[in-house]
Amino acid sequence: MKFAHMADIHLGATSDPKLKELEMNTFRKAFEICIEEDVDFILISGDLFHVNIPDLSIVKEVVKIMKKVIENKRKIYVVYGSHDYSPNAVSIIDILEEAGIIVRIGRGKIEKGLFRPEVIVDERSNAIITGISARKLSLEREVFKILDREYLSSFKGYKIFMFHTAIDELKRKGEYYEGISSTDLPSGFDYYAGGHIHRRIEYGRIFYPGPLFTGWGVDLENTAKEKEEVFI
């Protein structure tokens, strides 16, 4: 099995025409690499878009790029990030899901006071995929407190947990966002596909790929220093 993990792509974050072009070229290139490498599926751990309702010319291009993966019978699994989630409006993520372009991870229901996230089995690879969506102001931290861990441990196979929340142990001096402890993640997963921290991090089985191009101003400098690669 081979999969790609991206996060914090923040399409639409730039306003300069040249940077806009580079932003989309980088996204296109990442997806081309996924097709070349013949990945079984792609994970996007939140903040695919910079805002919940982005410019439609960006959405059109994204659909065009993602359709090649879909036509190749590969799935794209996405959780909401803090940027592309909206508490009282439909997000573009929902539209992409309705159109069959992406599969949204993070939906769930409350059973006996505990949150049971929907668990999806990827048809190609049999990977078991679940997770928790982000909300504004890291409110999803409350969901981790009522997560039905026993239910999640009942699934057997290669297990992936997607989330868009910072891990407190990984925060650097000067980074102030509210996170969770790594022990708040459900145990027994093979790969924890994180987003929200805009740096490339491998911490045990917890992974943050960092942005492809830029989300916050400082990212551009950081991604420019990195080698050209997609995290596969």
Given the rule CB under 5 A, which residues bind Mn ion? 8, 47, 215
Radius of gyration, alpha carbons of the chain: 17
Nearer to Mn ion, 106 or 215 (CB): 215
What residue type is assigned to position 32 of the chain?
E
Nearer to Mn ion, 8 or 23 (CB): 8
SS3 for the chain is: CCEEEECCCCECCCCCHHHHHHHHHHHHHHHHHHHHCCCCEEEEECCCECCCCCCHHHHHHHHHHHHHHHHCCCEEEEECCCCCCCCCCCCHHHHHHHCCCCEECCCEEEECCEEEECCEECCCCCCEEEEECCCHHHCCHHHHHCECHHHHHCCCCCEEEEECCEEHHHCCCCCCCCEECHHHCCCCCCEEECCCCCCCEEECCEEECCCCCCCCHHHHHHHHHCCCCCCC
Nearer to Mn ion, 138 or 182 (CB): 138
Nearer to Mn ion, 152 or 195 (CB): 195
Considering the complex, what minimum distance in angstroms separates the CB of residue 116 from Mn ion? 26
Nearer to Mn ion, 45 or 125 (CB): 45
Considering the complex, what minimum distance in angstroms separates the CB of residue 198 from Mn ion? 6
Considering the complex, what minimum distance in angstroms separates the CB of residue 49 from Mn ion? 10
Q: Which of 5, 50, 83, 196 is catalytic?
A: 83
Considering the complex, what minimum distance in angstroms separates the CB of residue 72 from Mn ion? 27
Considering the complex, what minimum distance in angstroms separates the CB of residue 8 from Mn ion? 4
| 198 classed as catalytic | no
The Cα-based distances of 145 to 25, 171, 204, 207 in angstroms read 39, 20, 22, 21
Active site residues: 83
